[in-house]
Amino acid sequence: MQNDVLPEKERELETSVVDGALVHHAIALTMANIIRSCAKSSDREIRLLTQDPGYCDKTKDLIKGIGFEVIGGYGAGGFAEVDDETAIFSPFPKAPVKQIIADLARPLVFIALRGATVWNSRRNPYADPDSPRTKQMWESYERWDFPVSSDSKQLGGSLHQLSGFTRIGE
């Protein structure tokens, strides 16, 4: 979240950076709590992992305090943790997350941008487009729309651009 190091033309309004991050982390916390409530007591611990090279030390301390494990900064630290029992929430990545995951595992649940090109507030495409590998991966998943209230869409939120994918047969 080091918005201030960007050239002035590329900076986002502070509220958009903070609001988006707050919403995304709140959704991830909610997902983890729901998964924990559905898990059998004998199941292994449900971990809540996050990785973002933009995290400053204060941000890391804050999100660790609410239950996240911050892994890696740059590199493949987060990807090394993904397996077939993982639930991934990757709303607006600046890396080809779907393409990398398609080569590593078949997560149980994957929430990401829809297959079509999705644009950010500056009308630039996000960096996680579908590829032949991801399209092949999605064939073994059921797609569902991410639940978003109509108020959120009217307020200019972007969560309506997300889809959920659940592995077929699970």
Q: Where are the domains of the chain?
A: 3-167
User: Is residue 13's pLDDT more than 70?
Assistant: no
d(CA 150, CA 11) in angstroms, rounded, equals 28
Q: What is the pLDDT of residue 42?
A: 65
Q: What is the pLDDT of residue 157?
A: 65
- pTM (2 d.p.): 0.75
User: Is there a contact between 28 and 48 (Cβ–Cβ < 8 Å)?
Assistant: yes
User: Is there a contact between 134 and 113 (Cβ–Cβ < 8 Å)?
Assistant: no
Q: What is the pLDDT of residue 1?
A: 47
What single-letter amino acid sits at 128? D
User: Is there a contact between 158 and 92 (Cβ–Cβ < 8 Å)?
Assistant: yes
Of 54-58, 103-107, 117-121, minimum mean pLDDT range: 117-121
User: CA distances (Å), 37 to each of 19, 26, 31, 46, 163, in order?
Assistant: 27, 16, 10, 10, 23
Strand order in the sheet with 162-167: 87-90, 109-113, 162-167, 141-145
Residue 147, both tokens: 């639940």
User: CA distances (Å), 84 to each of 4, 13, 62, 90, 123, in order?
Assistant: 38, 37, 29, 16, 34
Strand partners, 87: 109
